[in-house]
Amino acid sequence: MSGRELSVVEIQERVRAELGRLADVVEPLGSLFAEAGEEISLVGGPVRDIMLGRLQQDLDLTTSARPDVTERLLRDWAGTTWDMGRAFGTIGCRKGPWTIEVTTYRADDYAPDSRKPAVAFGDSLTGDLRRRDFSVNSMALRLVPGEVDAELVDPYGGLVDLAHRTLRTPGPAEMSFSDDPLRMMRAARFAAQLGFEVAPEVVEAMTAMSDRIEIVSAERVRDELVKLVCAPEPRRGLRLLVESGLAERVLPELPALALERDEHHRHKDVYEHTLTVLDQAIALEDRLPGGGPDFVARFAALMHDVGKPRTRRFTDDGTVTFHHHDVVGAKLTRKRMRELRFPTDVTDAVSHLVELHLRFHGYGSGEWTDSAVRRYVRDAGPELDRLHVLTRADCTTRNRRKAERLRRTYDELEERIARLREQEQLESIRPDLDGNRIMQVLGIGPGPEVGRAYRWLLDLRLENGPMEAAEAEAALKDWWATQR
């Protein structure tokens, strides 16, 4: 998304084109609210996105009308409304392809120890715009009754900031971040989503006030982090989190990767390496079944080396080792994701990938047996495609010959997996005998011995591939004799 600055004329042309596409919304809503003696305007993110040529199907509007009036007017126009946001003055509806939310002008008041405002309705559009996070989100297009045209209301210079691709707060940044510290995270997220630069005074306020983020709930921080990581340019936002000190509060494992390098530079800059792995994982997302953005793959790339600071050791000859950083990193990842209240399945998937990210390097030049390949697939489970992406992305060497050798070796491994998958249905590998047959063959009832036998048969299946039932039964009896 980052790129050249935009001209005001170019922005105006986009606005006219998008308003024409919105004619079925802006014309009737402008007339409907005007006839009721109320103002209504497109506001915030949709206005910004109209100017950037990236408008989606969700529209936010603001109005002088109180919620009861808004609800009545929208019901007359759209037929069906919802009011889950009524306490905040928001009434929603659908019209054609558009999801529409209309909110009464707000003039909220924030307590110093909370980011949750005391909701108060305002009486002016300008006052409503002032309470918003950034100037590019503090513009409105006031709907003109019965017309496609709209009047731009921009009291805080959002148009110029958008043209210059800059994030700035409508008022003093310190006041904005004091009111709602989550806006500091949003600055990093919007930088990553839009490719914008953050104004120096905003970065300065973020740095000075980074400790304020601690009053924000873990769930809110998590949601912003997910949006940042899934943005087109997460590196930009992550750098801002680290440089402002916010990362120390919300994801301390990331700045910890900026290890002091030994005087002979005998190990890579782990922080820069990690950001490069993230970039390369994003570039490989088209290999994943759903494409991208894929949070699990990206966050695993971001966290894959977080065990290195804890495991770094200097040997007698001055070289550096990070033994078992995969296992340590998986534990640290799980701990951090639990603290950020990630769902268990997401936490399990990311931690599992971090723990497995070095497994391929035991493959050498392709000496693995079929048994080892089966175990690689079995251990990866449903994360196999993401593990392919992470392993390939983790190659950041500048040595072209080495990089090409690693690529060819992993190509070969994937080809072997594909062949075995076709022959043996690798994803559903099970022992050649089920629990009932195990009990029949051994003459035993339910109990822990059945589980032991099942696991032994599974290892046998992984080692030798599929077996005929009679062969498996004979092997089971031989094994059982040694156990008794």
Distance of alpha carbon 199 from alpha carbon 466, whole angstroms: 63
Which CATH number does the domain housing residue 182 bear?
A: 1.10.110.30
Distance of alpha carbon 318 from alpha carbon 308, whole angstroms: 17
Same domain, 387 and 479: no
Same domain, 262 and 403: yes
Same domain, 262 and 373: yes
Distance of alpha carbon 28 from alpha carbon 146, whole angstroms: 6
Same domain, 473 and 348: no
Neighbours of 425 (CB within 10 A): 11
Same domain, 77 and 133: yes
* Tens-place pLDDT, residues 52-108: 988 888 999 999 999 999 999 999 999 889 998 898 999 999 998 999 999 999 986
* End residue of a domain, out of 236, 251, 266: 251
Same domain, 360 and 293: yes
Same domain, 140 and 186: no
Neighbours of 288 (CB within 10 A): 17
Same domain, 219 and 301: no
Specify the pLDDT at position 264. Answer: 44
The answer to whether residue 54 is domain-embedded is: yes
Specify the pLDDT at position 260. Answer: 53
* Tens-place pLDDT, residues 166-213: 999 999 999 999 999 999 999 999 999 999 999 999 999 999 999 999
**34 lies in which domain range?**
8-159
User: Residues 124, 105: contact at Cβ < 8 Å?
Assistant: yes
Specify the pLDDT at position 456. Answer: 80
Same domain, 282 and 411: yes
Specify the pLDDT at position 111. Answer: 61
Which CATH number does the domain housing residue 316 bear?
A: 1.10.3210
User: Residues 127, 105: contact at Cβ < 8 Å?
Assistant: yes
Same domain, 19 and 131: yes
Same domain, 181 and 327: no
Low-confidence ranges of the chain (pLDDT < 50): 1, 262-266
Same domain, 266 and 412: yes
Specify the pLDDT at position 333. Answer: 97
Tell me how many domains the chain contains: 4
Instruction: Locate 101 and state its tokens.
Output: 């939310």
Contacts for 140 with CB less than 8 Å, ≥ 6 apart: 41, 42, 43, 44, 47, 62, 125, 129, 152, 153, 154
The answer to whether residue 308 is domain-embedded is: yes
The β-bridge relationship of strands 98-104 and 58-63 is parallel
Which CATH number does the domain housing residue 53 bear?
A: 3.30.460.10
